[in-house]
Amino acid sequence: MKSYIVVGMGRFGSEVARQLHQLRCEVIAMDISDELIQQVAPYVTHAVVGDAQDKQVLRALSVKDMDCAIIAIGDDLAASVLVTMNMKELGVPYVICKAHDATYRKVLEKLGADRVIIPEQEQAQRLAKSLSTPNVLDYIELSDECGIIEMPVPESWLGKDLRQLNVRAKLGVSILAVRRNGKMQMSLSPDTAFIKGDVLVVLGDNQALRKVQKL
C-alpha cells in the first residue's frame, strides 16, 4: 500500500487526499486549521492539525517513511518553500508541490521539488488537448515526451484481442485499461478482445499516441 502525506486542506489538497484514500492508499492529511481537518478526517487514514513548517512535527509523523509528500499550500510561497525543504531534508523520496504560477514553479523546482503543478493551467491544457483532437476524450500529460489518453476503440480493432493487435511492439503504446459499459477494467489479459463502445486508456510517448489517434 502506497503512503502519502498531503499538506494543506484547501479545495485542491482535500480532494487529492480523498481521491488517494478511495484508491486504498494510506493518507495523512495535515493542516493548521482544526476546522479543515475535521472536514476531511472521515475520508483519510489520519488527519493531523499541525504546522508542516516545523520540522519536528514532520519528524514525529515519520514522513521519511512515506512514499510521497504533496504540498498543496499553493498561494503561500514562503510556506511552500519551507515545507518542501523540510520534506527533502527529512528524506521523503518524492515531493509534489502545488504552485500559484510559473514563478512559484521555478522557485520550488530549484529547491528540490520533484514535480510542481499549476492545477488551473494543467486542467486548461487537458481540455484544450481533448478539444483539439476529435477522437481523444481526455489527455493527461506525464512529461514533455509522454502522456495518457482516453479514446474510443478504433474500428479496425473491433473483435481483435491484445495478442493479435500487439500494440506495444507495433505502435509503441500500452493499453492500461478499458472502460466498458461504464466500468473500468484494469486487469487485461492477452485474450481481451475489444467491442464497440469500448473506451481505451492508452499510455505512450506523444509521437506514438498521435499514430494511435489516426487509426
Per-residue pLDDT reduced to its tens digit, 115-133: 888 877 766 666 666 655 5
Mean pLDDT across the chain:
87
The edge-to-edge listing of strands for the beta sheet with 3-7 is 46-49, 26-31, 3-7, 68-74, 95-99, 115-117
For residue 52, pLDDT beyond 80: yes
User: What average pLDDT does the segment 166-173 reach?
Assistant: 91
For residue 38, pLDDT beyond 90: yes
Per-residue pLDDT reduced to its tens digit, 81-97: 999 999 999 999 999 99
CA dihedral 105, 35, 59, 15 (to 10 degrees): -50
pTM score over 0.75: no
For residue 61, pLDDT beyond 90: yes
Please report which confidence band the pLDDT of residue 183 belongs to, taking 50, 70 and 90 as the band edges: confident
- For residue 78, give the nearest of 100, 57, 93, 47 by alpha carbon: 100
Number of other CB atoms surrounding residue 34 within 10 Å: 10
For residue 28, pLDDT beyond 80: yes
Q: What is the pLDDT of residue 127?
A: 61
For residue 142, pLDDT beyond 90: no
Question: How far apart are alpha carbons 108 and 97 in whole angstroms?
Answer: 7
Which residues, in sequence order, are CB contacts of 69 under 8 Å at separation 6+? 4, 5, 6, 7, 63, 87, 92, 94, 95, 96
